[in-house]
Structure 1
Amino acid sequence: MSLKEWWRSSVIYQIYPRSFADANGDGIGDLAGITSRLPQLTELGVDAIWLSPFMTSPQKDAGYDVADYCDVDPLFGTLQDFDVLEKTAHDLGLRVIVDLVPNHCSSEHPWFIEALAAGEGSEQRARFMFREGQGAHGELPPNNWESVFGGPAWTRTMNPDGTPGQWYLHLFDSSQPDFDWTNPWVRERFREILRFWLDRGVDGFRVDVAHGLSKAPGLPDFRRDDEYWSTPAEIRPDNPYFGHEGVHEIYRDWHELLAEYPGERILCAEAFVEPLTKMAQWVRPDEMQHAFNFPFLVTRWNGEQMRHVIKDSLSAFHAVGAPSTWVLSNHDQIRHATRLAQDPSGKIADRITGIGPLTEPKPDNALGLARGRAASVMMLALPGVAYMYQGEELGLPEGMDIPDDKRQDPTFFRTGGASYGRDGCRVPIPWEADAPNFGFGPGGEPWLPQPAVYREYSRDLQEGVAGSTLELYRSALAIRKDRALGEGDLEWIDGTPENVLGFRNGDVTVFINYSEKPWALPAGEIILDSGNSADGVLAPAAAVWIV
């Protein structure tokens, strides 16, 4: 892959620091632990790593509540530890992307503490979304917006004399106040933050809630209810706080700032907007380079639906000159080796509902793994950029039996346990079957309990084992790179049975069987097989690459 526009065809591996590798034995992953495991990511064959938040934070939302954007939380180490990690990664040929959280900060950030102390009408409060309440005495929230984590999106402050004061907006937890991005002071502070990390050598930023920075003037009422979600994306009412047009000028400014630095630094948007033609606005030539393809991620096990989302993705992203992105799992979603075993005809649950001890019926691990492997083989053959989530190369299932008293996700608490939240996909990953904590760390109870079944998925048990999920990923990544599939073009193959998809990318032909029936493959040499198709028959829940 050339230095020029490396980001058009790369494979980027997401590291969730607290669950990747624990060097000091406190039960929480850290930067030194990540550094120690980087050679194994090079062996896997990825091109870059993306680090979920490791900046200073009270950790009320696993680091997405930032209290200092220019330092490392002691939980994970020091800035010097980060520098060692980055140098090690670069020496190994890996680029480093860091998470940036610009929509909101922690309520413990000095800026918000200053805003509370300064009082109404102050320049400090103007950095956030403080508003007067409704009702005769301001006792009602300024509007009806709801938090993504459940409950109202507004919290009322108390004045120094003990009387109720203004309300502040938090689209997520009440410990995460939203910035007011119409304020030039806020914009300048984030330019400084970008430069701080760029000067340290990072290769780009994954931008959290990249669709949320701009809110509609007047903050009009809006509710995302069942009627809203059942309305086709193309004709849904405009959301006044997600996907508002004002975000784009911010990213044009950031694009120009990153262009001052050598080496093709990039921006990746977490922009959960539909339809795909709207999402593509985040990756126009003068804005960001990547936008996560959430419609692809949330598509159930259905061949026709998958064909449509792939076609729509290629069309939408290519129309603005950007690469399509593909992703099956991340730190906010049920792991795809579990999610794809769910009933594809059932109602698609809220993305942060999760699976817990009382969820019935539970997805079958064996079926989920077969479907997950097939989906991964298909994804890695698609032209564009692929994002992987730590542990998916092991075939890890969701952690589904976490006790209530061990849960950490604020969603679980804000919904009174009605939603299990995202803890299940954040369980520390297994490296060595017979080591303490399956090799995650030398001791200490992991911050989330590892299910006993994770031993079977440990990396050391899969290394060099033909047919293991780890070796399947290694082979797929090596062939993808050798045959430049990320830089290729997709051509659909017609004439396959219903729910069997086929396409060509360069000299590789790909088939994936979403149906319940086996299908006789056309002639050709199988160079990658998610199942066991040596007899020339593509089993259900299997995918192959043929030349």
Structure 2
Amino acid sequence: MTSPTSQSAAATLHVQSPEQTEWWRHAVIYQIYPRSFADGDGDGMGDLPGITSRLDHLAQLGVDAIWLSPFYRSPQNDAGYDVADYRDIDPLFGTLEDADELIDTAHSLGIRVVVDLVPNHTSDQHAWFRAALAAGPGSPERERYMFREGAGPDGAQPPNNWESLFGGPAWTRVREREDAPGSSWAEDGQWYLNLFDTSQPDLNWENPEVHREFDDILRFWLDRGVDGFRVDVAHGMIKAEGLPDWSGHVEMVSGAAEAADAPGDNPGMPPYFDQDGVHEIYRHWRTILDEYSGDRMLVAEAWVDPLERLARYVRADEMHQAFNFAFLTQPWEASALRATIAESYAVNDSVSAPTTWVLSNHDVVRHASRMGFAEATNSGPNKGIGPQDPQPDRALGLRRARAASLLMLGLPGSAYLYQGDELALPEHTTLPAESRQDPTFFRTDGEERGRDGCRVPIPWEAGAPAYGFSSTGKSWLPQPDDWDDYAVSSQRGDAGSTLELHRQALRLRREYGLGTASLADEPQLAGAGGVLALVSSDPAGERADVLLMANTGSEPVELPAGWTVVLSSAADAAAGSSSGADGVVVPADTTVWAVRG
């Protein structure tokens, strides 16, 4: 067992300004994946009425806001991220009236509503793209998208060598489409860019008409009362001038590039990501949001490296938040976590922005499974897990996931929970191939398992059809047979459950003001192997200091003198224990919150 030793003076990681009180600086926001949250009509597909019927669960959990993944009209080739109409609800999910009722009900419960916005591309069923196909080369309709002539003598080669993030080439030739227009254009040699699926043509953000269209879309939803937007592929939209070739490869989930020295504004990223021109878009969008009362907000999904580049998205006149994916991909190891936390505060504090923490979402393997491998890793297999792959240790993953979540929720700034995180829901790692729907799985011939495993409908009622997700037992993706213990009904009221741990954490987070606190190392444990120990303090000095102590090592560690545990991720470091003559130990893979005294 490691005992605390005398260390040098504490290093300050973050100083909170008392004037920074906007809700989005400290909010806990819960991501809802509409098709997998709750099914209100029994067809096996989650929907808006189903979400509305379950909002009381989120109010009792104590979240400040919800973020809804896309519910727009769509052919659903990429689970709604292929939008055909940004101003309407897909019939799978309900109607505009259902959306209004959801927003109103959430607001009545004190929950704000953030919706997804997908500006990099549309569906190929969008009216604009249908018009572009019909209008032909050189038309204003095609200027809304990234149409180009092919390379080679007869234009039979793609305009450049870019690859789709879903696998395969990033270009589709018009004549290869079954729905190519008639004899006028069917033989034209133009290609269109699709950084994701063939059915998701990239918009041309050099075109002022595209800007005007999204200005109107923003206002449409702001007028309906939404409190903000999560911006999909926020680091995309603008491509390097001339669309130069690039020999590297980008991972779909992490955004990490295998080769550096790319042409464009950020040599560490491919020429279609993190170009400086995106910031002009967000400066303009910020002026639109500022026209509305209620501190409306923008959060960036931007897989950008290094963190200094990510901080550019949250400068004072741009977005309000940007997901901290560097934290998500760190191993479960104290020194790596501390380094990322410290760097994150350094770059975000320099632009007076909050740091926005996240561990799971609809694009990554759930952290209760990522962390269930013997090696100390949190990045894990980011291409999905299938039945033929090595399987995570559920008990280990559960213990580490609870510890990681409690650490994240103790950090100043904003934090996002993905639906099921409050249940420590694992990945569905044994989905059969015939059940998968993610285009990544098909475009890579199954080499990448895809993201379906983290999108399986969540369990509400143990023993009920589809675990209460739907009244009929239907479920658009099959659920595992052994999820009864994860169901909300099984965990509600159980003091040792992950659901109750999250409820307590969110209550104490508010009580101690952890989201708006300052942060420094705990000097008694600074540098202790396997231990991350940070002290959260109230800048106004009106609340007690809180010790956030995460033991990522394999041996128990003694709690420093003078602290009393108020919350623990593990039952074997009980709340109410205080350090004294005999000491209190924090077991391996455990996080505790403790107060002085």
Question: Which range, TM-score by smaller chain?
Answer: over 0.9
| Residue 358 of structure 1 pairs with residue 358 of structure 2 | no
> Between the two proteins, what is the percent identity of the paired residues?
56
Inter-partner Cα distance in structure 2 for 1:160 and 1:319: 56
8 Å CA contact 1:301, 1:344 repeated in 2 = no
Q: Which residue in the other structure is 1:188 paired with?
A: 212
Amino acid across the alignment from 2:569: S
Deviation per residue, 1:31-59 (Å, 9 max, x gap): 00000000110000000000000000000
The residue aligned with 1:331 is 362
Q: For residue 192 of structure 2, give the secondary structure of its aligned residue in structure 1.
A: strand
In 2, the alpha carbon distance for the partners of 1:282 and 1:319 equals 12
The alignment status of 1:509 with 2:547, answered yes or no, reads yes
* 1:388 and 2:417 aligned: yes
The 5 Å alignment of 1:509-528 reads 509-523=547-561, 524-528=563-567
Instruction: Give the match for residue 479 of structure 2.
Output: 450
Task: State the secondary structure of the residue aligned to 2:101.
Answer: helix
Q: Does 1:425 align with 2:454?
A: yes
Partner of 1:127: 144
Q: State how far apart, in whole Å, the 2-side matches of 1:307 and 1:33 are.
A: 40
User: Do the aligned partners of 2:331 and 2:377 also contact (CA within 8 Å) in 1?
Assistant: no
Equivalent in the alignment of 1:25: 42
Q: CA deviation at 1:343?
A: 4.8
Q: Which has the higher contact order (CA 8 A, sep 6+)?
A: 2
- Please report how far the alpha carbon of residue 300 of structure 1 lies from its aligned counterpart in structure 2 after TM superposition: 1.6
Counterpart residue number, 2:589: 541
Offset, 1:237: 3.8
Q: Alpha carbons of 1:310 and 1:356: their partners in 2 closer, same or farther (altered >3 Å)?
A: same
Which of residues 431, 437, 441 in structure 2 aligns to 1:408? 437
Distance of 1:343 and 1:152 partners within structure 2: 36
- What do the CA deviations read for 1:210-233 (whole angstroms, capped 9, x no partner)? 000101110001133499537699
Instruction: Assess if the C-alpha contact under 8 Å between 1:146 and 1:223 holds in 2.
Output: no
Q: Secondary structure at the match of 1:267?
A: strand
What one-letter code is carried by the residue in structure 2 that aligns with 1:46? V
1: CA distance between counterparts of 2:364 and 2:553? Answer: 24
Structure 2 unaligned regions, length at least 5: 1-17, 176-180, 251-255, 538-544, 578-583
1:321-365: CA deviation from partner (whole Å, max 9, x where unpaired) = 1000100000001101111123546795673x10011112x1101
Contact 1:302 / 1:344 at 8 angstroms: preserved in 2?
no
Q: CA RMSD in A?
A: 2.0
How many angstroms does 1:239 deviate by?
2.4
Deviations along 1:464-520, one digit per CA (max 9) or x if unpaired, are: 111100000000000001111000011112443211110011210011111111112
Note the 1:211-250 alignment, pairs <5 A: 211-225=235-249, 228-229=257-258, 236-250=267-281
Structure 2 Cα separation of the partners of residues 350 and 434 of structure 1: 31
1:390, 1:286 → 2: CA distance? Answer: 31
Deviation at 1:461, TM superposition (A): 0.7
State the match for 1:297 in structure 2.
328
2:115 is the alignment partner of 1:77 = no
Query: What is the rounded CA distance, in whole Å, between the counterparts of 1:290 and 1:116 in structure 2?
Result: 37
Partner of residue 234, structure 2: 210
Match of 1:530 in 2: 569
Q: Does the C-alpha gap of structure 1 residues 487 and 232 become closer, same or farther in structure 2, counting only changes over 3 Å?
A: farther
- Please say which of residues 490-499 and 275-284 is displaced more in the overlay: 490-499
Q: Deviations over 1:191-211 (max 9, x none)?
A: 010010000010000000000
What amino acid is the match of 1:124? Answer: E
CA distance in 1, matches of 2:277, 2:260: 24
- In 1: Cα distance, 2:301 partner to 2:292 partner: 23
The offset of 1:434, in angstroms, is 1.9
Structure 1 residue 177 corresponds to structure 2 residue 201: yes
- Report the more deviating stretch, 51-60 or 160-169: 160-169
Read off the aligned partner of 1:381 and give its amino acid letter: G
Q: Indicate the residue corresponding to 1:261 in structure 2.
A: 292
Q: 1:273 aligns with which of 285, 298, 304?
A: 304
Alignment deviations for residues 37-83 of structure 1 (CA, whole Å, 9 cap, x no partner)? 00110000000000000000000000000000000000000000000
Contact 2:156/2:189 (<8 A) preserved: no
Residue-by-residue CA offset, 1:226-245 (whole Å, 9 max, x unaligned): 99537699995442100000
Per-residue CA distance 1:131-169 (angstroms, 9 max, x = gap): 001011111110111111111100001263342520000
> Which structure: larger Rg?
2
Tell me which amino acid in the other structure corresponds to 1:529.
Answer: S
Q: How does the TM-score come out when normalised to structure 1?
A: 0.97
Q: Using a 3 Å threshold, how does the CA distance of structure 1 residues 3 and 450 change in structure 2: closer, same or farther?
A: farther
2:58 is aligned to 41
How far the C-alpha of 1:435 sits from its partner, in A, is: 1.5
Distance 2:395 2:381 in 1: 24
> Aligned to 2:123, which of 106, 110, 127?
106
Count of matched residue positions in the alignment of Structure 1 and Structure 2: 545
The whole-number CA distance in structure 2 between the counterparts of 1:235 and 1:179 is 21
Following superposition, the deviation at residue 454 of structure 1 comes to 1.5
Q: Is the 8 A contact 1:428 1:446 kept in 2?
A: yes
Contact 2:249 2:257 in 1 (8 A): yes
DSSP-derived class of the 1:268 partner = strand
Counterpart of 1:143? 160
Which amino acid letter does the alignment assign opposite residue 260 of structure 1? E
Checking the alignment, whether the CA contact within 8 Å between 1:485 and 1:505 is kept in structure 2 is yes
Tell whether the 8 Å contact from 1:412 to 1:421 is kept in structure 2 after alignment: yes
Structure 1 residue ranges without an equivalent (≥5): none
Give the 3 Å change call, closer, same or farther, for CA 119–140 of structure 1 in structure 2: same
For the structure 1 residues 292 and 232, does the alpha-carbon distance in structure 2 shift closer, same or farther, using more than 3 Å as the test? farther
Higher-helix-fraction structure: 1
**Residue 499 of structure 1: aligned partner:** 530
**C-alpha contact (below 8 Å) 2:163/2:249 kept by paired residues:** no
* Partner Cα distance (2:482, 2:523) in 1: 41
SS in 2 for 1:167: strand
Comparing 184-193 and 341-350, the one that deviates more:
341-350
Is 1:436 matched up with 2:465?
Answer: yes
Q: 1:440 and 1:63 mapped to 2: Cα distance?
A: 20
- Cα 1:238–1:529, aligned 2, differ >3 Å: closer, same or farther? closer
Corresponding residue for 2:222? 198
Q: Which residue of 1 aligns with 2:72?
A: 55
> Residue 405 of structure 1: SS of its match in structure 2?
helix
Q: Note the C-alpha offset of 1:521.
A: 1.4
Matching residue of 2:401: 372
Q: Tell me the secondary structure at the aligned position of residue 525 of structure 1.
A: strand
Among 504, 510, 517, the alignment partner of 1:481 is 510
Shift in Å, 1:420: 0.5
Q: What is the identity, as a one-letter code, of the residue corresponding to 1:144?
A: N
What TM-score, normalized to structure 2? 0.89
Q: Which amino acid is 1:181 matched to? A: W
Aligned to 1:308: 339
SS in structure 2 at match of 1:21: coil
Change (3 A) 1:38 1:238: closer
Structure 2 CA distance for partners of 1:386 and 1:109, relative to 1, 3 Å = same
| Secondary structure of the corresponding residue to residue 189 of structure 2 | strand
Distance 1:349 1:157, change over 3 A: farther
Partner of 1:120: helix, strand, or coil?
coil
Q: Find the aligned partners of 2:512 and 2:75 in 1 and give their Cα distance.
A: 46
Q: How far, CA to CA, are the matches of 1:126 and 1:160 in structure 2? A: 20
Once the two structures are TM-superposed, the CA of residue 537 in structure 1 deviates from its matched residue by 1.3
**Secondary structure in structure 1 of the residue aligned to 2:343:** helix
